[in-house]
């Protein structure tokens, strides 16, 4: 969320940013919120003047009564009563105006970084760099669920009966591989200096609206019936929420956390054949990373975060590439974002396995995450990135480590988490 003063002083900048994100329907909101802000400030000024006048008149009443000027004192009392009625009206008006302003400010997109390419949607994202050599073997690679089934490692039919579409049972060595990847990712991030965290898997509505847009919330979140609680769609939300309404001494920054959690998502809409199986599902597990830092350090942390994911995938013999997200593909709170995509030998192309984002002070402003610095208090910057989400990552892992005899090679770094196994073999 932007600072209303910034919008008031830079309306043309805000409008051009909206155009750059191809959200022209939001352009009238800028003038509307500026007008509401002007009305709100006028109401506040009048209310402040009435409060000051009330104090002055109250003293005057006491002086008149002490001088025996009862009739004059009654006239002043009548004026105080009239002022009180007007003050009550203004306080109600202030509340209504602030609610309208907040609603609009929550929908005006954050100012994107100048380095972000201008584009309408994800088809205009820009490839940045490739890591590892993409290989297409000389034998056929089955669909990922068929690979899993060859090890008796997945049961979608039973999951469908128990929970419906978008769920699965992982079994045997595939389930063990899933847990091994999570454990390896946890230790990988701890070794890079991040504090391990297991966060709440549900968050209140004020945290939800603090970390994401209304459109994202509607598309992603499951609401707990009768409770002010939502199942998390990703653990960075509850980890950022940990700092709600806090003031951190600057010398204690940055805060770097890595978390494990299950994640729950509606995943609305129809999806193609490549997004079936365990690619796009309602429940999965993930290792995440977040940073809360000073504004001047957020560009540096952004670079560090996506490199962590790239290094992890490369250590598992999975080629990846990074894509710079264009303006139209950025969620409203994001300043800058890049996707990490893994190579699919079967599809002979890359597909998304993680996303790294710098949100500037947008989340911090909504959640009141402040820093106490030498020159006063200011809002922190927040960043997040996927370490690994095993269901989707398993697809890349199985395809890139599949051998001609149908076995799946276990990379050296993962073997301690698989009981020393060098490969998964068909029973």
283-307 tens-digit pLDDT: 999 999 999 999 999 999 999 999 9
Domains and CATH numbers, the chain: 4-105 (1.10.287.40), 122-424 (3.30.930.10)
If one compares 336 and 71, the residue with the highest pLDDT of the two is 336
E strand or H helix at 150: helix 144-150
**End-to-end alpha carbon distance in the chain:** 55
Give per-residue pLDDT as tens, 97-108.
999 999 999 999
Q: What confidence tens digit (pLDDT) does each residue in 354-371 have?
A: 999 999 999 999 999 999
Confidence of residue 329 (pLDDT cuts 50, 70, 90): very high
Question: Tokens 């105006």 correspond to what residue?
Answer: 97
Mean pLDDT score, 26-47: 96
pLDDT tens digit string along 154-195? 999 999 999 988 899 999 999 999 999 999 999 999 999 999
User: Is the Cα dihedral 415, 407, 278, 160 positive or negative?
Assistant: negative
Percent pLDDT > 70 in the chain is: 95
Q: Report which of 253, 291, 273, 260 is spatially closest to residue 186, judged by C-alpha positions.
A: 260
Instruction: Look at residue 269 in the predicted model and tell me its pLDDT.
Output: 52
pLDDT digits (tens, 9 = 90+) for 368-404: 999 999 999 999 999 999 999 988 899 999 999 999 9
Question: Could you tell me the pTM of the whole model?
Answer: 0.89
Check if the beta carbon of residue 143 is closer than 8 Å to that of residue 277: yes
Closest CA to 360 of 331, 380, 385, 386: 380
Q: How far is CA 259 from the centre of its chain?
A: 14
| Contact predicate 134/344, CB 8 Å | no
pLDDT at site 195 = 98
**CA angle centred on 114, ends 288 and 296, rounded to 5°:** 60
Residue 99 in tokens: 């609610």
Task: Give the phi and the psi of residue 338 in degrees, each rounded to 5.
Answer: -135, 150
């Amino acid at each position: 969320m932007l600072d209303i003063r910034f919008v008031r002083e830079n309306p043309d900048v805000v409008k051009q940013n909206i155009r750059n994100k191809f959200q022209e329907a939001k352009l009238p909101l800028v003038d509307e919120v500026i007008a509401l802000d002007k009305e709100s400030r006028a109401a506040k000024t009048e209310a402040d003047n009435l409060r000051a006048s009330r104090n002055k008149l109250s003293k005057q009443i006491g002086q008149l009564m002490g001088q025996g000027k009862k009739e004059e004192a009654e006239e002043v009392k009548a004026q105080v009563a009239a002022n009180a009625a007007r003050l009550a009206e203004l306080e109600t008006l202030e509340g209504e105006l602030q609610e309208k302003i907040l609603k609009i400010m929550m929908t005006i997109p954050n100012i994107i970084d100048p380095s972000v390419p201008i584009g309408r949607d994800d088809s205009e994202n820009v490839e940045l760099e490739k890591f590892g050599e993409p290989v297409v073997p000389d034998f056929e690679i089955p669909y990922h669920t068929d690979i899993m089934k060859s090890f008796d490692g997945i049961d979608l039919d039973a999951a469908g009966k128990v929970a419906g579409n978008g769920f699965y049972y992982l079994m045997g060595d595939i389930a063990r591989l899933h847990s091994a990847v999570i454990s390896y990712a946890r230790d990988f991030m701890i070794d890079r200096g991040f504090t391990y965290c297991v966060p709440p898997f549900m968050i209140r509505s004020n945290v939800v609206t603090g970390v994401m847009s209304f459109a994202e919330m509607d598309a992603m979140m499951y609401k707990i019936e009768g409770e002010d609680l939502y199942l998390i769609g990703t653990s960075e939300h509850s980890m950022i929420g940990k700092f709600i309404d806090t003031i951190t001494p600057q010398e204690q920054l940055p805060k770097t956390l890595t978390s494990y959690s299950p994640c729950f998502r509606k995943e609305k809409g129809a999806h193609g054949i490549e997004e079936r199986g365990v690619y796009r599902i309602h429940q999965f597990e993930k290792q995440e990373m977040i940073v809360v830092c000073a504004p001047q350090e957020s560009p540096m942390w952004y670079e560090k975060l996506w490199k962590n994911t790239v290094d992890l995938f490369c250590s598992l013999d999975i080629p990846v590439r990074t894509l710079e997200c264009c303006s139209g593909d950025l969620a409203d709170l994001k300043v800058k974002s890049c996707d990490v995509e893994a190579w699919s030998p079967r599809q002979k192309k890359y597909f998304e396995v993680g996303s790294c984002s710098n949100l500037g002070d947008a989340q911090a402003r909504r959640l009141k995450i402040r820093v106490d610095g030498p020159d006063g208090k200011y809002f922190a910057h927040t960043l997040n990135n996927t370490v690994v989400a095993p269901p989707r990552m398993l697809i890349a892992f199985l395809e890139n480590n599949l051998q001609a005899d149908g076995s799946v090679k276990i990379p050296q770094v993962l073997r301690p988490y698989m009981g020393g196994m060098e490969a998964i073999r068909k029973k």
